[in-house]
Amino acid sequence: NAEIVGVSFAIEPGEAAYVPLGHDYMGAPEQLDRDEVLNQLKPLLEDPGLAKVGQNLKYDKNVLANHGITLEGIAEDTMLESYVLNSVATRHDMDSLAMYYLGEKTISFESIAGKGAKQLTFNQIELEKAAPYAAEDADITLRLHQTLRPKLKETGKLASVYEDIDLPLVPVLSRMEQRGTLISASTLRKHSQELAERMAELEKEAHDVAGETFNLGSTKQLQAIFYDKMGLPVVKKTPKGAPSTAEPVLQELAHEYELPRLILEHRSLSKLKSTYTDTLPELIHHRTGRVHTSYHQAVTATGRLSSSEPNLQNIPIRSEQGRRIRQAFIAPEGYKLVAADYSQIELRIMAHLSGDKGLLKAFEKGEDIHKATASEVFGVSLEEVSSDQRRSAKAINFGLIYGMSAFGLSRQLDVERRLAQQYIDRYFERYPGVLQYMDNIRKQAHDDGFVETLFGRRLYLPEINARNKQLQQAAERTAINAPMQGTAADIIKRAMVDVENWLLKEHADEARMTMQVHDELILEVKESALDKIRSGLEQRMSAAAELDVPLLVEAGAGDNWDEAH
């Protein structure tokens, strides 16, 4: 929805200019005609040969698109330079970067526009205040670029991570945001109604179990019923010394007691209802009839993308309710949705990074990796592995790549700690390369203060040598997992750039990429082109990295995301 109020430039550090075009407060001076100025700038902004430097240029690209200008020649982005250089040193907004790298306090937007409900929009701000603010933005951006770019060049492989992965992704994400995705409001409304009914049932059940009516959302009332009335064990206390009713506490109590289980289910449905089924229809854009999420490239520590309004990454994957939400993401008339995702990508990366012979062999032979692990850990043949054993092996496989302890695993599998420790010991006996990798990466993290992905993206670990043991152990767990999670993120970003370029070049009128969620890409594809796009997509995603094991991609198609997924 954003419209341009003015444009600012800097070509030399310390010199910047602001061209006001749309300030319309009472008594605003006459300004140049916006359309005329943008027409003159259009050839420059659309020229791929003219290099542009900006801070978060994806946003500028989207706003310019509202005025019929396709920004090309995105050569440098200071937000991404900072993010690739050190994702955890500072936040990556301009004010934070100016302070951290240049030691300068910039004019904040609030200081000229005010706060809260009374905050002015930029068109209402007097030129005397607007010009220094806008010109400073351009000047600081140029100076940040001149400070950050040399640092990237001299640090490991960071320049190539920035140039080959993060920067080429900017126009790809911008186009995905502009395309948006189609959502069925009626499906969501129906789902909302059903959630409300189920929540009412749960509330009644909870009141029956408690023997009185109470507000399920009230911490005080829950404490009184759980601990004073029913005498449940106190698992943890709040900082003020009261018995806690936080999520992890309820999860522990829910193993043995009915009421905490009911409260948990009610909470999770309430969250789905408020976050998705009630909110998604409100996000449908009046002009396009579609929902346009925002992807964030500089938020997570490991290089993964995140998204907001709506947050696509948080839709529950395994629950029936999550499936219902995905059913509301639909294909337009004459199209199908194609969802392609990497199968067990982090475990495959672990096999590659650790070079463990057992893991490599299982993947090369195309075995079900969780079954293969179950067979090794429980000492049975592949054919004899039960579904419970496979489920346990899956928890072990994923738990260990997240640095999980025997205590964590025992809680997840609901077995004694001693038994969980036996599983872990047996796993490492069977896959000694994995243990060796974990020991090496921990040591490297302590020595260097950072770990790297396969492509050289760095994750710094400021707490790795902390005096506090808990902080240190958390940093060690991150050190083990970050190379895998970060490499998976790098791979899907490389795939997105390749897939987008291929579609634009060869199939622009047949298919378009609309969403990215975790290890999955979602496309809208014309029914007539389904087979060739699907196989081309699988090939390109598989070729996004060369590992010692095959990168397996599974693509499905359907009228909605759940069918395709």
Q: Splitting the chain (565 residues) into consecutive groups of 10 residues, what average pLDDT does each group show?
A: 95 96 96 97 98 98 97 98 97 97 96 94 96 98 98 97 98 98 96 95 94 91 90 88 89 89 93 94 95 97 95 87 93 98 95 95 92 92 93 91 86 89 93 95 97 97 95 94 96 98 97 97 98 97 96 97 94
Q: What is the pLDDT of residue 123?
A: 97
Distance CA 532, CA 229 (A): 64
pTM here? 0.93
**Which residues partner with 330 through β-bridges?**
560
> What pLDDT is recorded for position 319?
83
Q: 10 Å Cβ neighbour count for 465? A: 13
Amino acid 523: pLDDT: 98
Q: Could you identify the residue written with the tokens 């598989």?
A: 542
Report the b/e string of 47-69 with b at 16+ CB within 10 A.
Answer: eeeeebbbbbbbbbbbebeebeb
Rounded distance between C-alpha atoms, residue 391 and residue 413, angstroms: 9
Tell me how far apart the alpha carbons of residues 296 and 83 are, in angstroms, rounded to a whole number.
11
Q: Are 399 and 412 in contact (CB under 8 A)?
A: yes
- Provide the H-helix boundaries in 180-319: 185-210, 219-223, 247-254, 258-272
- How far the first Cα of the chain sits from its last, in Å, is 31
Cα–Cα distance, 470 to 476 (Å, whole number): 10
d(CA 74, CA 251): 48
CA 430 – CA 445 distance, rounded (Å) = 25
Cα gap 188→178, rounded to integer Å: 23
Contacts of 453 (CB under 8 A, 6+ apart): 303, 459, 482, 483, 486, 487, 489, 490
Cα distances (Å, whole numbers) of residue 103 to 76, 99, 155: 21, 4, 22
Rounded-to-integer distance, Cα 222 and Cα 225, Å = 5
Secondary structure of residue 57 in the 3-state scheme: helix
CA gap 543, 498 in Å, rounded = 10
Taking the CA atoms of 217, 221, 225 and 231 in sequence, report the sign of the dihedral they define.
positive
Q: Which residues contact 26 (CB under 8 A, 6 or more apart)?
A: none
Beta-carbon contacts of 428 under 8 Å, excluding residues fewer than 6 positions away, are 434, 435
